[in-house]
């Protein structure tokens, strides 16, 4: 896990653990049952797709912002999580040091540590998510009981946003609907530099170059696809670096297009 800087702002991946899933339970290419064969390099020896789960710590100088809050202490059934607070401590931060918890969306693997046993974990933080996700996952009559129970404890500390919003100097949200109604990309900028925290708008970088994949948990797969494609067009061949919540190694990269087509290039090999 490598830290990155965006001008004056530092971003550290904070791993909570690994979620191992059959790949076709995460991403499918409709009409192509064998699509994963082309990406076997991403699978482990058992043919499972290991997805890192956690969050990103964004330090602006004024604020200490945790973007997404992992899955929480849970092991079994392909899940091995629960390290987020230890990994925050290794960076020198206790839960009470976090000023803001910014949630890209409210799926279970992004909100695990917002509260434990009904008690808010980041006791001084303001919690932030898109109001449409709060409605979908918490206040809707058909909201799932598990999500409602997990998220209700933060209601008093919640400042929901609607549409593109400035959270702090150099930290902005951008609507990126489809995966969930309020799915959000976090834009980090300082000076001339810019980076995007994509949440689950993209699970694996190849979705940028093979746009017909769908995430099984997309609430609106077609809208998610349009959101992804618009984003790719905007950032290809720019210096904007991006990382998804579940990218391999939580590694940032860029989209480069040339006569040979569009390619994803991890930061480590960017040249
Ligand atoms: Zn996720």
- Residue 57 pLDDT greater than 90, yes or no: yes
CB atoms within 10 A of CB 117: 6
By C-alpha distance, which of 76, 81, 142, 77 is closest to 111?
81
Q: Give residue 237's Cα distance to chain centre.
A: 22
- What rounded mean pLDDT belongs to the chain? 95
The DSSP letter of residue 136 is I
- Residue 185 pLDDT greater than 80, yes or no: yes
For the record, the structure tokens of 95 come out as 């839960």
For the record, the structure tokens of 252 come out as 């940032």
Max distance between CA atoms of the chain, in angstroms, equals 54
Q: 184 CA distance to ligand 1 centroid (A)?
A: 12
Regarding pTM above 0.85, the answer is yes
Expressed in angstroms, the distance from the first to the final Cα of the chain is 20
Q: 260 CA distance to ligand 1 centroid (A)?
A: 31
Q: 200 CA distance to ligand 1 centroid (A)?
A: 5
Share of the chain above pLDDT 70, in %: 99
Residue 138 DSSP SS3: helix
- Residue 269 pLDDT greater than 70, yes or no: no
Q: 16 CA distance to ligand 1 centroid (A)?
A: 12
Torsions phi, psi for 135 (to 5 deg)? -65, -45
Q: 179 CA distance to ligand 1 centroid (A)?
A: 10
- Residue 271 pLDDT greater than 70, yes or no: no
- Residue 50 pLDDT greater than 90, yes or no: yes
- Fold entry, domain 4-269: Metallo-beta-lactamase; Chain A (3.60.15)
Q: Are 183 and 176 in contact (CB under 8 A)?
A: yes
Q: 259 CA distance to ligand 1 centroid (A)?
A: 33
Q: 40 CA distance to ligand 1 centroid (A)?
A: 21
List the domain boundaries for the chain: 4-269
pLDDT in tens, 63-106: 999 999 999 999 998 999 999 999 999 999 999 999 999 999 99
- Alpha-carbon distance 256 to 239, whole Å? 9
Q: 193 CA distance to ligand 1 centroid (A)?
A: 26
- Residue 236 pLDDT greater than 50, yes or no: yes
Q: 110 CA distance to ligand 1 centroid (A)?
A: 6
CB atoms within 10 A of CB 149: 12
Q: Which residues contact 99 (CB under 8 A, 6 or more apart)?
A: 63, 64, 65, 124, 125, 126
Left if phi > 0, otherwise alpha if psi is -120 to 50, otherwise beta: which for 175?
beta
pLDDT in tens, 118-175: 999 999 999 999 999 999 999 999 999 999 999 999 999 999 999 899 999 999 999 9
Q: 94 CA distance to ligand 1 centroid (A)?
A: 24
Q: 34 CA distance to ligand 1 centroid (A)?
A: 23
Q: 10 CA distance to ligand 1 centroid (A)?
A: 22
Give the chain's radius of gyration (CA, Å). 18
């Amino acid at each position: 896990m490598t830290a990155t800087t965006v001008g004056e702002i530092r971003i550290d991946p904070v791993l909570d653990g690994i979620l191992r899933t059959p790949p076709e339970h995460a991403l499918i290419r409709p009409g192509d049952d064998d699509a994963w064969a082309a990406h076997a390099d991403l699978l482990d020896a058992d043919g499972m797709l290991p997805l890192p789960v956690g969050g990103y710590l964004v330090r602006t100088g004024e604020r200490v912002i945790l973007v997404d809050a992992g899955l929480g202490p849970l092991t079994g059934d392909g899940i091995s999580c629960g390290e987020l607070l230890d990994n925050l401590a290794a960076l020198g931060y206790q839960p009470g040091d976090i000023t803001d918890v910014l949630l890209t969306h409210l799926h279970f693997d992004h909100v695990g540590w917002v509260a434990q046993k009904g008690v808010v974990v980041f006791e001084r933080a303001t919690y932030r998510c898109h109001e449409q996700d709060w409605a979908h996952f918490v206040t809707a009559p058909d909201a799932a009981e598990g999500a409602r129970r997990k998220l209700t404890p933060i209601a008093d500390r919640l400042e929901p946003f609607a549409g593109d919003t400035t959270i702090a100097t150099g930290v902005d949200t951008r609507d990126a609907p489809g995966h969930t109604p309020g799915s959000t990309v976090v834009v980090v900028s300082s000076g001339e530099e810019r980076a995007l925290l994509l949440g689950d708008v993209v699970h694996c970088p190849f979705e940028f170059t093979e746009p017909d994949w769908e995430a099984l948990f997309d609430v609106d797969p077609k809208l998610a696809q349009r959101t992804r494609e618009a984003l790719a067009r905007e950032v290809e061949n720019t210096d904007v670096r991006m990382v998804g919540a579940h990218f391999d190694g939580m590694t940032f990269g860029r989209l480069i297009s040339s006569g040979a087509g569009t390619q994803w290039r991890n930061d480590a090999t960017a040249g």
